[in-house]
A = this chain, B = another copy of it.
């Protein structure tokens, strides 16, 4: 069978735009003389649509579109992800479905059985699970059609399974000859190898070819990397879709391919591309064409500026340099060098005059209270106000520059440096920020080496250094990664890293700073556990480890 995989970038809610894209590619595939064209999970409405699913006018538009798509079909199969609905006396009656159309009609619908409801996934909130799975005979093959998670419960691959049933195993037992899976699988570094390993194990075991089409593109905080895969009966990867862009593959299940060996590239390359796509798609899908960054002279804002320049083009990136009395001379100099290296535009606007005016106005009320975090935060908030004023006046998308280490321990000012539409590196630890910067400079200096080499500082009081308030980043980041991503707790962390007092304090500080993260900009997700939608802690709580 000759199968086209359409790895498309959809816009959530844009049912008209998405379906036009589906039709266009379908007709192109018809000319390529394929038997079937497949599109990712929920292609019609974009993934994840969240509570849009609860709107009946939204569902009505989808139902109409399903019919419209079916009417476009010839004898070439059109398989796509959509929502279907039927009246049932119990439950929502809504399904996350794979729909197969040909000869002008909807011919077959397979609903998703395994509904992920962990981390960033909330599918039980909206959908009912399929009660059964069925093969569909098409052009001499018995197609086993499944949706995303349905293929993620193989009991040979998983030590601990989430679900009791294994729909793909059931379909294979029923005599499937080809496996088709339509997916939307958010990226985190290592995820692509995991997909490969899992799917390769499955296809090798059952000696069946698999076409696995994935969505690509960013949806607010979630980045989908594409990289659709086709496996032959030996579990060899025959075709691998492009990463971070749309692609169109043709897989002939009877042809012999040279196996693909490079599945995933380095952390630096993958994460940088993810973030560039994440920021570019946020902008494109919300209509922004220009970006703004507050450039401090530190490495975080330098990295975000680089990413913005790649996402928007340097001619569309503007930065503000907002020195204070505590800013080092180097900060300005290094920032100007970055501006030059990237070819972007800038303004320099000191915060001192406004800061002094604030202090003057507040003095009578503050009496002679000594300076404290109030004055530090105030400086950050003046910068936030400058940035937002530029954003409002000129229509820039403001990029937030905080990294994951800072966000973890609340080393950031609400309504100050946390201002912005999207936290570009909010899921990148400080030590990883350095890695990315070095990678960017691998051939020539783009981020000035002075920025990479100097000690991190918020520059909000004289001689301030991050390490006055925080453990060294290489140690802090180890704690954070164990705690946030590996789900390790105090005992295990101390066993591996020692320093019980520091570990205890760091964990408590993370727990205590939920209130700041509640009001943070959406964080582009590149790890297995990012702050935001996939990590849900009470703000008011008193959990204290014994």
A contacts, CB < 8 Å to B: 11-17, 46, 48-52, 54-58, 61, 89-91, 117-118, 122, 124-125, 160-164, 218-220, 281-282, 285-286, 347, 349-350, 353-354, 357-358, 360-362, 365-366, 369, 372-374, 377-378, 381-382, 384-386, 388-390, 392-393, 414-415, 419, 421, 487, 489-491, 515, 518-522, 533, 535-546
Contacts and interface: CB of A to CB of B under 8 A. Distances in A.
A358 B117 CA distance: 48
18 contacts: A14-B541, A46-B538, A55-B489, A57-B490, A90-B164, A117-B117, A117-B125, A118-B125, A122-B536, A219-B538, A349-B361, A354-B354, A374-B389, A381-B381, A384-B415, A385-B415, A388-B414, A421-B515
A385 B358 contact: yes
Contacts of A414: 388, 419
Centre residue among A16, A17, A353, A361 by max chain B CB count within 10 A: A361
Contact of A365 (B218, B282, B347, B491): B347
Nearest to A352: B361
Given A362-B349, A384-B415, A385-B415, A540 B90 contact: no
A374 B392 contact: yes
A17 B384 CA distance: 40
B542 A11 contact: yes
A377 B358 contact: no
Closest 4 A/B residue pairs (Cβ) = A13-B543, A13-B541, A374-B392, A14-B542
Chain copies in the assembly? 2
Contact of A538 (B49, B382, B540): B49
A90 B163 contact: yes
Given A377-B389, A388-B381, A536-B51, A358 B354 contact: yes
A424 to B, nearest CB: 14
Given A11-B540, A353-B360, A372-B393, 4 more contacts: A46-B541, A61-B546, A377-B388, A378-B389
Nearest to A17: B542
Contact of A12 (B16, B46, B487, B538): B538
Contacts of A349: 361-362, 365
A393 B419 contact: no
Centre residue among A54, A286, A537 by max chain B CB count within 10 A: A537
A91 B163 contact: yes
